[in-house]
Amino acid sequence: MDARLRGVLAPVLTPFNADLSPDAQRLARFCRWLLTHGCAAVAPFGTTSEANSLSVDERERLLDTILEDGVPAGRLLPGTGACALTDAVRLTTQAVRHGCAGVLMLPPFYYKAVSDDGFFRFFAEVIERVGDARLRVYLYHFPPVAHVGFTVNLVERLLRAYPRIVAGMKDSSGDFGNTKTMLDAFARGGFDVFVGSERFLLAGMRDGGAGCISATANVNAAAIDRLYQAWRSPEAERLQAEVDAVRGAVEKLPLIPALKAIVAQYAADPAWLTVRPPFVDLAPEQRDALLAQLTALKLAMPDVRG
């Protein structure tokens, strides 16, 4: 049996230098902090990581640095999906060669009139070219942003063709009905479904889910992990309501600049404020209101450093 990923994962925010180049050292420090403050693993190069605003070269160098800096490969689930087959192969090969626990793959997201056959062909080609039995692919389903995604038939076909390699899904559809469909169809077969927001964590666990991979885990992983650990307890509903309150405060605003503003504040490190275009900073009054609300909710990020 594999040591499968379970629990709370953060799609790690990517810090940038003033010249908009990624700051690898700061990223590594933040990954280490997350891993000791509620995260079972970290998922760099997700949507929240601004990974789709990074080149493949930048992503490769960042992963190398995180690993050199001591983040254990077994607790890493890097995003390696890409529009270009050759990019997805290159990023996935690097992750597997380093022994990463798995990879989280968006489908190629530029072209929209793509059939299940086409997506199957893409993933089959990536898996065959990477050609490593250690590969574990988690499918990243995010139709609200990607505008493409994974149907039940596609997942079924991929699982039949690559039963050990296709390992699970992050469902960021925002529709728990879809999550439940995937859980009912595949969870008993060992396909690990992570909800894409902690709002659905309790519901997901009750239906056989594996945890959550959520943007807000960058700032609230400890509390989300308490819910994950206690989901069978009488406290679960209260813990769910607590994490929902923080999520609610953050997701009213553009999520990535908001999360960066929170880290910058709690780490007392304004370098974290920088976002790469096409994102823009929060307005000062948005930031102040957000931080006041989180203080009222008693959000804590003990010992976080930039």
Q: By CB under 8 A, name the binding residues for its own copies.
A: 20, 47, 52-58, 83-87, 90, 107-115, 117-119, 121-122, 125, 144-147, 254, 276-280
143 or 306, CB closer to its own copies?
A: 143
58 or 269, CB closer to its own copies?
A: 58
20 or 268, CB closer to its own copies?
A: 20
**Distance (Å) of CA 233 to CA 24, 128, 240:** 39, 43, 12
1 or 280, CB closer to its own copies?
A: 280
**Distance (Å) of CA 49 to CA 130, 184, 289:** 24, 30, 24
| Secondary structure letter of residue 163 according to DSSP | T
5 or 126, CB closer to its own copies?
A: 126
Q: How far is the CB of 202 from its own copies (least distance, A)?
A: 27
CA atoms within 13 A on the CB side of 299: 29
**Distance (Å) of CA 91 to CA 28, 30, 58, 64, 105:** 18, 22, 11, 11, 10
- For 206-269, the three-class secondary structure string (H helix, E strand, C coil) is HCCCCEEECCCHHHHHHHHHHHHHCCCCCCHHHHHHHHHHHHHHHHCCCHHHHHHHHHHHHCCC
Q: How far is the CB of 220 from its own copies (least distance, A)?
A: 21
Quick check: 290 and 249 in contact, CB under 8 A?
Answer: yes
Q: How far is the CB of 205 from its own copies (least distance, A)?
A: 29
70 or 278, CB closer to its own copies?
A: 278
Q: How far is the CB of 58 from its own copies (least distance, A)?
A: 6
Q: How far is the CB of 27 from its own copies (least distance, A)?
A: 16
Q: How many residues can be counted in the chain?
A: 306
Q: How far is the CB of 153 from its own copies (least distance, A)?
A: 15
